[in-house]
Amino acid sequence: MKYRTLGQNEQLSAIGLGCMSMSHAYGVPDDDESIATLHYALDLGINFWDTADFYGNGSNEELISKVLTTNRDKIFIATKFGFRATEDGKGSYFDGSPAYMRQAIDASLKRLKIDVIDLYYAHRVDQKIPVEEMVGAMAELVQQGKVRYLGLSEASANSIKRAHAVHPIAALQSEYSLLTRGVEKEILPLCKELGITFVPYSPLARGLMTNTLNFKDLPENDFRRTLPRYQEEYQENNANLAQAFAELATQKGCSPAQLALAWVLAQGDNVIPIPGTKKRDKLKDNAGSVDLALTPQDVSDIEAVLAKYPNVGDRYSEANYKWADKN
């Protein structure tokens, strides 16, 4: 494994592990395989693990604790707060208030069974309160010794600047992949300027770029069924894109996942993607991307494939965009 630096001297694996799918959003959980995958991550040197209190209504943090507590010194653990289920359990809303944050941090520490969280994110930027108020309250957690570093997720450039002026923001997590590139114009340069680690989630376009995603076989409760990119009107384009990309990867002597992740890694030495999986074989495949160096010709070939199949669809539905940061 290769490593990249967060903050001043935290050495994190260049590929992290997104743990959401172990308990939430994608298909049926398999706790035994997930725990085996967590142990295997340690064997591979993957020390940067990402979860959130909302994943599985806290069950993802509890699952991770089974490996985390006995390997605490080997793992840099990140979790998030803010999303809450509605009373009927059928919906969700965002609460970035200091009052809720103080409840959320203690609940996460209890579920994870640890004394301090390495990286604590606000899962979104609350549109109802100033970002300075939210981050100011998060900074108190650092002073109390409950949190080591602060992060934001899906924040606008303006919010990042305002938050960073209150307390250093160590990491920004946002969706970024070959198919989702909205952060390139403003966010990536800003993170570089401010010394913020950029953490792409869904760097494989929620599995699409692996050429293993069968749209029609997705479980009824799979989150991707609600997203435009995975709907019928885009399926032919995206299946053809995935196939062509896989053929290109074969020509390069790697898997499509490795080629896609290598492209993300090449966007900056402050970039640490967190592809999610609950399976050991996929984790091993993802980890191999750190050894793949792309040439200018490789990048040109990738862009040519993308240009051939442009009708990929949006990453989110209108309902998902209601939490977009407009600050």
Catalytic residues: 55
Q: Compute CA distances 32 → 7, 28, 114, 278, whole Å.
A: 34, 12, 22, 10
Residues 275 and 260: their CA atoms lie apart, in Å, by: 11
**Secondary structure (H, E, C), the chain:** CCEEEECCCEEEECCCEECHHHCCCCCCCCHHHHHHHHHHHHHHCCCEEECCCCHHHHHHHHHHHHHHHHHHHHCEEEEEECEEECCCCCCEEECCCHHHHHHHHHHHHHHHCCCCEEEEEECCCCCCCCHHHHHHHHHHHHHCCCEEEEEEECCCHHHHHHHHHHCCEEEEEEECCCCCCCCCCCHHHHHHHHCCEEEEECCCCCCHHHCCCCHHHCCCCCHHHHCHHHCHHHHHHHHHHHHHHHHHHHHHCCCHHHHHHHHHHCCCCCECCCCECCCHHHHHHHHHHHHCCCCHHHHHHHHHHHHHCCCCCCCCCHHHHCCCCCC
